[in-house]
A and B are shown apart, each in its own frame.
Chain A
């Protein structure tokens, strides 16, 4: 029997190879999970299998629509709508499936390479069409005389009533050098005006600023948090700092957010190494995101951050972190309430899935998650401002114009009270 002893390693080796065979797909991907073990137990369990695997259920209905639906439909559109519905069923407004066109636009927006051929105006939705929020200097719109506050009624004689904002924008954009005719309603005078201009390449800055008229206060507007924003923010602040302001107003109103990384870089000017946010991912795994080192500059004046309900995500991080470290006062209306981070996962055909991979928490530990009622109306969530002031929406109101923007006026008041 002693002869058998030295062969004991054979069954052990066989067992080892068996396990290696079992795990070989994982060795190829470098990704190991417990899923295969779960699948294994399912295979040998005695319970009745479900009559339809979810995937089969979906495939069956897909096929039956293709074969039996009496109207017209496009297979690819059907497939995309299915994916939109599938991802939408999670009930997370920030996790979504994006078809190729929308994926492309989204990537462009977050990269900050938002140079397009158009007229050079920032728009927001309006029941009559679109409202011009700002007109950039030196652009076709600026030169033609279009002003902030104008309501776009029609483009090239086509009514913009009831069109989605991205459809309106695609009507305005076009080939460089081509003409576009825009009819607006100038609310301050009640007149309808028509402008014709040539489309040109327009580079939209995501951060811009100037010294407020008659005040030694710097005013910086940040429109998004893109790749290019930290540099533009830095450049703007350095230019304004040279004029020795007594205070700074950072305007994040209607800033829908963007890259967490951009917000973190911009915050690093004010906080060094301190925690920006704590991310909580799958299975409760937590990760602290600190500010970058060696970028902080000494704070020499009071800061106010302006926000409203359309300030979301990275905007809320920026404002919330500044407040939590007692570096700024928040003025305006409550923010949107988006406290999650998404990643983009591409599909081979150019579409992609934007997926929430983690929730984040501000240094104070507050969870800002937005809560809405069954019809989508806001109930709670977001940052609550230190000084609550609603925008007085007059006909002549221009955001960023100290004479007509009452929220900006309040911000100035707050700064002056701290001097």
Chain B
């Protein structure tokens, strides 16, 4: 009975005066319109901004700082949108584009310590950090002319040849094919598999040769042949980055390498293989310690003997900075050992221990110019207290930057310096450190 009543009521509603009916219709209509619009907006929220809408455009123009300071994420959206709507190939991978943007940024820093690595390069990089080496078993460094690089960064006009780095050997894995072939730290790679490696020196030589030919009074034929030969020979050059990969990646085949030491050029055919470099190698002259992944445990073991230690830090790789931080933060007596500072004086973080560890046994660090990266920071930090630590040997490499590595969703990645180690702050470094240098590698999930 009640049901019938309702029906009757409903029918009655529809027979009600037109004003209320119209209101009901308007509400229903408005709700439908609004509902559709809302659904569209919420599903478009991750999609590009509609740049043709004048409202959005006006907002941007009115923003403080003017048009040139468009926030980077809006800029990114706009560029992606332009490509999305217009590029001839409608199948585009936005993740690939975002990673391309990251690569562009890292490369633009023009910093020898900042580099983007492809998936393959990053995998070998991580292996190296764990003491596993491929190729001929060396760590190579691209060595730029710092002065010229600084000029280039200031957008001054630099001779492009000055921006070509040298390829230098900075560490040699014990027992590696490179060690057996007689390669030494500081050697410069000249040619790989018959192709010479591009360098500032080579470019200068090419220009000098060309200039000599052009200034000579040879016949047209002769000059033509010689100039052509110069150009052809020059085209054979290999980029230092490619040479680096050929020498340090892969575990099969051989590489024909020529390298220069002072005025001597040496040559050999060297096999590629896996070489394992242990974090700890005990020798008569002391313990060779390397900052490979997980080596903090080995260091803890060394300390546990409580005997005075001689630690040989020569022939060190750049190292895993996490290992360094763990050694200081977990194993060292409580103290602030120093700071990681930006070039402009801003303090990134401090290197300190809050652990309740007992004092270390008397340490002697053996160092030289092949001591760099994590090893150099440790020796510098602990060398301050001369009563507890002796530094034996000469000047170190001068590579005191803390390097952060970041893994990207496609397994490529990049490295970037986030502060140079200093035992004390200068008066210009006004900021107090906000945090301790915690875990050093940031993994960006995706």
Contacts and interface: CB of A to CB of B under 8 A. Distances in A.
Interface string B67-81: 111101101111110
Contact of B70 (A57, A73, A77, A348): A348
A343 interface: yes
A157 interface: no
Interface residues of B, number: 113
A10 B206 contact: no
Interface stretch (B100-108, B178-186, B373-381): B100-108
Contact of A54 (B95, B211, B214): B95
B159 A159 contact: yes
A36 B72 CA distance: 24
Contacts of A61: 102, 105, 406, 444
B37 A52 contact: no
Contacts of B255: none
B36 A17 contact: yes
Contacts of B372: none
Interface stretch (B27-35, B118-126, B167-175): B27-35
B297 to A, nearest CB: 28
A25 B44 CA distance: 10
Contact of B104 (A35, A88, A340, A347): A88
B227 A393 contact: yes
B224 interface: yes
Contact of A81 (B31, B108, B227, B342): B108
Interface string A72-86: 110111110111111
Given A20-B36, A76-B69, A81 B104 contact: yes
A355 B29 contact: no
Contact of B207 (A20, A127, A282, A393): A127
Interface centre among B73, B153, B159, B162 (most CB of A within 10 A): B73
Give the size range of A's interface with the partner: 35 or more
Contacts of A40: 39-40, 43
Given A36-B47, A82-B76, A89-B96, 16 more contacts: A21-B37, A43-B43, A52-B445, A58-B73, A70-B341, A70-B402, A71-B417, A73-B109, A82-B72, A85-B100, A89-B99, A163-B157, A163-B160, A185-B215, A190-B214, A394-B221
26 contacts: A13-B29, A22-B37, A42-B43, A58-B76, A64-B442, A65-B109, A65-B416, A68-B418, A69-B114, A70-B417, A71-B111, A82-B102, A83-B76, A85-B100, A86-B79, A86-B101, A89-B96, A89-B103, A90-B97, A128-B211, A163-B160, A164-B160, A190-B214, A190-B216, A190-B217, A356-B88
Interface of B: 11, 14, 25, 28-40, 42-44, 46-47, 50, 52-53, 57, 60-61, 67-70, 72-73, 75-80, 82-83, 86-90, 92, 94-109, 111, 114, 153, 157-162, 203, 206-207, 210-211, 214-217, 220-221, 223-224, 227-228, 234-235, 238-239, 242, 340-344, 348, 401-402, 404, 406, 408-409, 416-420, 442, 444-446
